[in-house]
């Protein structure tokens, strides 16, 4: 099998792209000339808005429903994806898979339930792991797998109540490093990107409901503000492009110097 890297991916799949980091990444990837399949779980209208934003900059996109927490649906999703790739782009492969979909919010250790822990596991670790396995036959040689981790994985960004969330993200980081080794004979690069606190709908729209939170975060951030989805999306677009062809097996911090 070839070790040659591909050029910019012709089509990328971005999960959880109906808003926030996923939407910003999808638009940024499209701006670099790639087609984008955006996935959503429960907000089809917002996924359509992402597609419209990509259409508005002269790109091409298509929305598909996907529940990352339900791995039993992955084979059917792969079949739907293969159909869309053939019908919309005349191809049988993708150049990049961006595992962005997830859920957040803290839960104190003493209040953690097995049900809540299993939900973290299904969405944040098992989901992206087995979605990657399911879609691997569609990933072109020289393609890219990029998963969104979290700055909470590293020392320094350690807050009470995030043991479950950060534990799953840490597992995703380690698994991705091993996949970078295992998939290297096909020239497939595997990385994770670790955002710091970013203005998204995480925690049931916590930033919208409690805007004062942003001031405390800005005070702990070297660059003095809360992250925006575009800050992360632009780096994701870079990491799945040919410009990042010599980067694999890494967890890239994109946090503005949060909790240094």
List, for residues 107-143, the tens digit of each pLDDT value: 999 999 999 999 999 999 999 999 999 999 999 999 9
Phi-psi region of 208 (alpha: psi -120 to 50; beta: other; left: phi over 0): alpha
User: Which CATH number is 190's domain given?
Assistant: 3.40.50.720
Q: Which of 40, 120, 129, 162 is catalytic?
A: 162
Query: Which residues share a beta bridge with 195?
Result: 254
Q: Please check whether residue 2 lies inside any domain of the structure.
A: no
pTM of the model: 0.92
Q: Please check whether residue 1 lies inside any domain of the structure.
A: no
Phi-psi region of 179 (alpha: psi -120 to 50; beta: other; left: phi over 0): alpha
Q: Please check whether residue 37 lies inside any domain of the structure.
A: yes
Number of Cα atoms under 13 Å in the Cβ half of residue 135: 34
CB-based burial, 136-154: b 16+ in 10 Å, e otherwise: bebbbbbbbbbbbbbbbbb
Q: Please check whether residue 60 lies inside any domain of the structure.
A: yes
pLDDT at 202: 64
- Catalytic (active site) residue 162: yes
Find out whether 47 and 54 touch, Cβ atoms under 8 Å: no
Q: Please check whether residue 114 lies inside any domain of the structure.
A: yes
Q: Please check whether residue 53 lies inside any domain of the structure.
A: yes
Q: Please check whether residue 186 lies inside any domain of the structure.
A: yes
pLDDT at 1: 37
> Any idea what DSSP says for residue 160?
T
Q: How confident is the chain (260 residues) per 10-residue block, as mean pLDDT?
A: 47 97 98 97 96 98 98 98 97 98 88 96 98 98 97 85 95 98 98 92 65 86 95 98 98 94
Q: Domain range for residue 100?
A: 11-254
Tally the domains of the chain. 1
Q: Please check whether residue 126 lies inside any domain of the structure.
A: yes
pLDDT at 21: 96
> Any idea what DSSP says for residue 149?
-
């Amino acid at each position: 099998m070839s070790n040659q890297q591909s050029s910019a991916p012709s089509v990328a799949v971005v999960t959880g792209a109906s808003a926030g980091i996923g939407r910003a990444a999808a638009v940024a990837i499209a701006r670099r000339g790639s087609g984008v399949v955006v996935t959503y779980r429960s907000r089809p209208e917002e996924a359509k808005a992402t597609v419209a934003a990509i259409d508005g900059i002269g790109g091409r996109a298509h929305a598909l429903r996907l529940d990352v927490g339900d791995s039993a649906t992955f084979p059917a999703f792969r079949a739907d994806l293969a159909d869309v790739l053939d019908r919309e782009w005349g191809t049988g492969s993708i150049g990049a898979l961006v595992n962005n979909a997830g859920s957040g919010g803290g839960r104190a250790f003493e209040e953690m339930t097995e049900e809540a822990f299993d939900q973290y596991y299904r969405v944040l670790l098992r989901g992206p792991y087995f979605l990657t396995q399911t879609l691997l036959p569609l990933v072109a040689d020289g393609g890219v797998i990029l998963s969104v981790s979290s700055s909470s994985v590293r020392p320094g960004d350690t807050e009470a109540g995030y043991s479950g969330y950060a534990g799953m993200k840490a597992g995703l980081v380690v698994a991705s490093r091993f996949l970078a080794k295992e998939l290297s004979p096909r020239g497939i690069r595997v990385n994770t990107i670790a955002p710091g606190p970013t203005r998204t709908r995480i925690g049931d729209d916590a930033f919208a409901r409690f805007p004062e939170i942003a001031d405390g975060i800005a005070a702990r951030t070297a660059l003095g503000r809360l992250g925006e989805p575009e800050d992360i999306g632009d780096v994701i677009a870079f990491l799945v492009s040919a410009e990042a062809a010599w980067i694999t097996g890494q967890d890239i911090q994109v946090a503005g110097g949060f909790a240094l």
